[in-house]
Amino acid sequence: MVAAAAAEATLAPLRVLEGRLLLIVSLACLVFFRDPARTLAREPDTVYAPADGTVVGVGRVSDDWLPGGEALRISTFLALYDVHVNRSPVAGRIAAAQETPGAFAPAFLERAHGNHSKRLAIEDGSRRVVLVQFAGMLARRISSWAWLGDRVDAGQRIALIHLGSRADVLVPAAETRPLVGVGQRVCAGVTPIARYLTAQATT
């Protein structure tokens, strides 16, 4: 009896610690997997943020998925505490899709552009917008809910990038201007990040 009581007394602090760790992990999962509703009052000729996070890059790059090959790229870093549900930056049809194996560098670094990624080209009439989702160094996984041939609306949920990641939007550099700068916080499906210089003709 004495030995059993002593053993129980020894285990009691461990059980308290275990309970606290379980609570912390449960709360972390609730934070990570949260998916708040978003209402988008869509404006014409506007491209929206695909992810919650911080803009870490705005600049011109070469990209053969866009007409002319020159793109305006806007990169958003998603920290662990950000909502990780990705949303479509524009409305249209997914005309091209590609998954590329790669490394798993920290997503806030420039070399994260070599990480495992999924790339979507979304077309609306004559316009094409490219979204590239990069996996981070922890969970290393992207769960897609929209893929080749699907039609999507601006702000529609299309993917979940697990535990720290990066999302790039590429638009034709000659046809658009950025609306955000490095260091700015953006909200998926809500924050305008780029705008076309001329209106698209409608029929």
201: helix, strand or coil: coil
CATH architecture of 46-196: Distorted Sandwich (2.70)
> Which one from 75, 88, 117, 165 is the annotated catalytic residue?
165
pLDDT at residue 1 above 80?
A: no
b or e along 109-146 (b: 16 or more beta carbons within 10 Å of the residue's beta carbon)? eeebbebbbbbbbbebeebbbbbbbbbbbebbebebeb
Looking at every residue in the chain, the average pLDDT score rounds to: 82
Q: Grade residue 30 by pLDDT with cuts at 50, 70 and 90.
A: very low
What is the domain partition of the chain in residue ranges? 1-32, 46-196
At 35, the pLDDT band (50, 70, 90 cuts) reads confident
Assess whether 143 carries a catalytic annotation. no
pLDDT for 94-126, tens place per residue?
A: 999 999 886 555 655 565 667 788 999 999 999
Q: Do 81 and 69 meet the contact criterion of CB atoms below 8 Å apart?
A: no
